[in-house]
Amino acid sequence: MTVLHELQTEVFPLQLLSDSLSRVKPSPSIAVTTLAGELRAAGRDVIGLSAGEPDFDTPDNIKEAAIRAIQAGKTKYTAPDGITELKQAICDKFARDNGLDYTAAQVSVGTGGKQILYNALMATLNPGDEVVIPAPYWVSYPDMVRLAGGTPVCVESSLETGFKITADQLEAAITPNTKWFIFNSPSNPTGAGYHPEELKALTDVLLRHPHVWVMTDDMYEHLVFDDFTFCTPAQVEPKLYDRTLTCNGVSKVYAMTGWRIGYAAGPKILIDAMRKIQSQSTSNPSTISQWAAVEALNGPQDYIAPNNALFHRRRDLVVSMLNDIDGLACPVPDGAFYVYPSIAGLIGRTSAAGVKIVDDETFATALLEEANVAVVHGAAYGLSPNFRISYAASDETLTEACRRIQTFCAALR
Ligand SMILES: Cc1ncc(COP(=O)(O)O)c(C=O)c1O
């Protein structure tokens, strides 16, 4: 019994785990959200601002479409990468919103935007292949690249450049080994969006490097504010159409994070390769969710504007309260529902409980410990010293959280 126990806990796990697993870490935003939930369950009054999902419910017309699908017996397997009706709705969406023409054979539907990106990387990366990723980046990009056997090449932006990289930086990062450039605008974690002329400067660089493919993650396309005009690479530079995978999903804009539907369109050879991966892993995304997504894309879009107005108001509230803090600088984002303030002015100070703030991780940990506010530290997104707040929460919650951050920062010596 003792010998078996030792085998199970020590020797066996070492042999069990793959080399590729050692290249990745768990998602830090999911880790912080889980920790905040555990602390709340243990009785602590923690405000969690780490989860990247809208705080409102999926619209009724979408829920009703799902119920109708269940009642009509649409509960069986489908084609591994999606039903024809959804692929057609996606083609119509790309034509309507982005001026991009795709056929259903050029469309892949997966279990969330995450699986779409993962399938594409798994289907294309070989050891030695490099993937250029602007930083700060969505936490999963570099780890997915590593899991697929490739090498992430991160290109740091800065607060001064509005968290956007320049054409010169992109040019310098591209090598003969570059396979993909991952683009995300508006961005998670900064909310920064590239204007058409800024994106054109990047696509001009990509035109000079025909071996580089473009993976654009347009998840926050519809969550934009003020006069920001969303644009996507194949639209800004049609000559890139043949080597661009345009990725999107219903999770954020339709408050459907739990339904798990993401999609992409691109060259058929790539879509076929992605289908092969999906057919040998998860098979089709939930049939019921697919029918709900058909309604999301084909049905009324009139809740998008009021939701954006709500997010706009919350953005202004959070940005203004954070910028009132001495030592903290919070740029105004163009979209999504995140802010990414810099704490450069607070480094070196000591908290009321005696913790020295040496980086954004010590800041986020002390904030949670001493002020009961859960945020994700910037190092997780590849640019420090910053932290990310998701402002997909009520005005009251955000006001209270920002007050706590103000009090915590005011007590730093
Ligand atoms: C930039 C970005 N891409 C993709 C995803 C994944 O979306 P999904 O929930 O559809 O997998 C997220 C979710 O946080 C995201 O922020």
Assess whether the C-beta atom of 212 lies below 6 angstroms from ligand 1: no
Taking the centre of ligand 1 as the mean of its atom positions, its distance from the CA of residue 251, in whole angstroms, is 7
- Letter for the amino acid at 246? T
Burial 218-229 (b: 16+ CB within 10 A, else e): bbbbbbbbeeee
| Cα angle: 222, vertex 85, 298; to 5 degrees | 35
Give Cα separations from 109 to 116, 143, 234, 282 (angstroms). Answer: 7, 22, 19, 12
Residue 73's region, left for phi above 0, alpha for psi from -120 to 50, else beta, is left
251 lines ligand 1 (CB under 6 A): yes
Whether ligand 1 lies within 6 angstroms of the CB of 262 is answered as yes
pLDDT per position in the chain (413 positions), as tens? 444 555 555 556 668 888 888 888 877 777 788 888 888 899 999 999 988 899 999 999 999 999 999 999 999 999 999 999 999 999 999 999 999 999 999 999 999 999 999 999 999 999 999 999 999 999 999 999 999 999 999 999 999 999 999 999 999 999 999 999 999 999 999 999 999 999 999 999 999 999 999 999 999 999 999 999 999 999 999 999 999 999 999 999 999 999 999 999 999 999 999 999 999 999 999 999 999 999 999 999 999 999 999 999 999 999 999 999 999 999 999 999 999 999 999 999 999 999 999 999 999 999 999 999 999 999 999 999 999 999 999 999 999 999 999 999 999 99
Tens digits of residue pLDDT in 199-235? 999 999 999 999 999 999 999 999 999 999 999 999 9
Task: Please tell me the predicted confidence (pLDDT) of residue 20.
Answer: 84
DSSP letters for 228-286: -----HHHH-GGGGGGEEEEEESTTTTT-GGG--EEEE--HHHHHHHHHHHHTTT-S--
179 with 148: CB under 8 angstroms? Answer: no
Task: With H, G, I as helix, E, B as strand and everything else as coil, classify residue 376.
Answer: strand
> How far is the centre of ligand 1, averaged over its atoms, from the C-alpha of 159 (Å)?
23
Q: To 5 degrees, how large is the angle CA 173–CA 112–CA 241?
A: 45
Output the CA torsion sign for 372, 337, 310, 306.
negative
Give CA separation, 159 vs 154, 173, 336, 379, 412, in Å: 16, 20, 17, 14, 23
What integer pLDDT is reported at residue 28 of this predicted model? 76
pTM of the model: 0.94
Single-letter amino acid code for the residue at 257: T
How far apart (Å, rounded) are the C-alpha atoms in residues 55 and 260? 16
Bridge partners (DSSP) of residue 107 are 265
Name the nearest CA neighbour of 173 among 157, 160, 187, 154: 154
* Model pLDDT, residue 6: 52
User: Which of 29, 30, 108, 114 most suits a substitution to test ligand 1, by most atoms within 8 Å of the C-beta?
Assistant: 114
Residue 257 alpha carbon to ligand 1 centre in Å: 9
Instruction: State if residue 388 touches ligand 1 by the CB under 6 angstroms criterion.
Output: no
SS3 (DSSP) at 108: strand
User: Which pLDDT belongs to residue 217?
Assistant: 98
Residue 393: what residue type? A
pLDDT at 169: 98
For residue 217 and ligand 1, the question of a CB distance below 6 A is answered with yes
